[in-house]
Amino acid sequence: MRLYSLCTLILLTLALTLPARAGDNEATFVQKCGSCHQRGGQAPPVNPADKAGLVWKKYFKRGRHPVDLAATINDAEMALILSYLQDHAADSDHPVAAAIPK
């Protein structure tokens, strides 16, 4: 009975915190990437569904982004951004087209 209660508590905690984290991912993506990656911005709009999740990971790991992001995006923010891109990549359960407002 004690194990059942512990499992229920863990599942409830995860259910309440995961949506908040997903929102943090999107908010960080829009805030940090949106100033350049929007229609009429310095860079073309980003569509998470343009690439598979693994491709997004390799893109940043291999330093393919044309601008050095180290000065404006810290490691924690980069992890949130990458998580957002992977969560909405072409091979995800919830692919997303243009996510940054015009």
Distance CA 79, CA 57 (A): 10
pLDDT tens for 36-70 read 988 888 998 888 999 999 999 999 999 999 999 99
Q: How far is 77 from 55, CA to CA, in rounded Å? A: 19
- pLDDT at residue 2, rounded to an integer: 66
- Lowest mean pLDDT: which of 4-8, 34-38, 71-75, 93-97? 4-8
Detail the DSSP E strand segments found in the chain.
none
Closest-CA residue to 67 (of 35, 102, 47, 43): 43
Adjacent-strand bridge partners of 37? 43
Residue 75 has pLDDT above 80, yes or no: yes
pLDDT of residue 51: 94
> Per-residue pLDDT for 12 more than 60?
no
Residue 21 has pLDDT above 90, yes or no: no
Q: Is the pTM of this model over 0.85?
A: no
